[in-house]
Amino acid sequence: MGAVLFGVMAVGCSDSGGTQPAGTGHQTTASPPSSASASAVTRSSGDGQDPWRAWTRDLSGSEGVQVCGATAHQVVCATGADGFVGRSRTDGAVSWTVPAAGSGKNLGLVVDKTDERAVTSGGRTLRAANLRTGKAAWSLRLPADRVYTGYVAADGVVYALDAWSSFDREVNVALGAYRASDGTTLWHRTVDADRSESPVAFGGRVYTTDSSKVTARGARTGAKLATSPSGTKCPHLIAGGDYLVCSGSAYTAEDTFPPLQRLDPGALRPLATAEDSDQKPERALISADGVLMLFEVSPEDSSVGDWNAYDLNHPKKLWSYYTTSEQAGLVGGRFVTFTPRNDAATRGHLISIDLHAGPDAKGDAAPRMAPAYPETVGSAYPALVLPGGDPHYVVIETMVHHILRSLPLP
């Protein structure tokens, strides 16, 4: 993100930071190294010997939409409620599979590139695959009346929110910390948090928001370390590098949104922040050197918008790029996204833009476009998957005619 013991693990809390919600004990199960938990590895998943190459592969019906991730060595996608498929970086062929063990709707995929774990959830289950071996690593299961609602991985720990499965019951949200390598429960606490807002974590802390305040907890014990001051509106938390920013939520039905607000990650006090566009924030990324990329749309028309670049260290707006996709990534000091589908002259391209110089830059900093491919046109509704490290290739996932394509980074 070991050898693992089988059995039931009691989940509880012992200090003043919170108490265990009733009925939320987990059963933690390690998976035996047998063919019952994973198919035999028939192709190399990439050990540094085989390079990334260009390829195109159809995805199976069990591989979900927008639940793929990648490390420097392979692509991994969630299947069913809580299964996994690993694919070779050399040709995209299936290297290994971990069949789904639970039922329910898949909630997404988190890839911990440090500990080589992929984590997914089918509602009541939180499950991890070992990306080094292509086998199931561990599984957590909640009681029938609780479900996982969001999770993140950082520094060898998986943090997951869980809540009552029924929205009619009194709000009772808990946050658990689990060792990424073997699923060992480190702590589990009742927290003030919006059940639909996944936690964010970095620098030995994990952060949650309940829209009106942000809370920081220590990674080791879960003890509360800081709370943002009264009046801090934070429907959505954005993290990247050593930066923490509050914004409006993409899921709100309102037409007005709280302004961007950068927070000190330690004391959670507000810091000077660039003025945003007052439009609806849909998705955000933050670079290691403090450039916030925010896709903002009109609340009346979310089909088009602008990727706006904000300098967090010298609070100001840097540049904008108009497009029709919230799919994007950061790599090598550049911002990567798709050209707008309503521009007949340029549609169907992957474009990379210098983070600081923007789309009007010249010379070495000028924008670069990949050739047009069927998988990158807007009508395919492509998603972008970036491998770890400093990749020379990116992976495109299409929503129509479900396909993965590996192509050189522009």
Average pLDDT over residues 325-334: 95
Q: How far is residue 294 CA from its own chain's centroid?
A: 15
311 sits in which H/E element: strand 301-311
Residue 2 CB burial class (10 angstroms; 0-12, 13-18, ≥19): exposed
CB atoms closer than 10 angstroms to residue 333? 15
Average pLDDT over residues 344-369: 96
Predicted pLDDT at 394: 96
Tell me how far apart the terminal alpha carbons of the chain are, to the nearest angstrom. 29
pLDDT tens track for 54-105: 999 999 888 888 999 999 999 999 999 999 999 999 999 999 999 999 888 8
- Residues of the chain above pLDDT 90, percent: 78
343 Cβ contact partners less than 8 Å away, ≥ 6 residues apart: none
pLDDT tens track for 5-28: 222 222 333 333 343 443 445 555
Average pLDDT over residues 97-114: 90
Local structure of 116: helix, strand or coil: coil
Predicted pLDDT at 168: 65
- pLDDT confidence bin for 112, thresholds 50/70/90: confident
| Whole-Å CA distances, 28 to 21, 63, 107, 208, 252 | 17, 25, 19, 24, 35
pTM above 0.85, yes or no: yes
pLDDT tens track for 219-276: 999 999 999 999 899 999 999 999 999 999 998 888 889 999 999 999 999 999 999 9
Residue 369 CB burial class (10 angstroms; 0-12, 13-18, ≥19): middle
Tell me if 331 sits within 8 A of 287, measured CB to CB.
no
CB atoms closer than 10 angstroms to residue 83? 24
pLDDT tens track for 347-358: 999 999 999 999
Predicted pLDDT at 396: 96
Which pair of structure tokens corresponds to residue 117? 């774990």
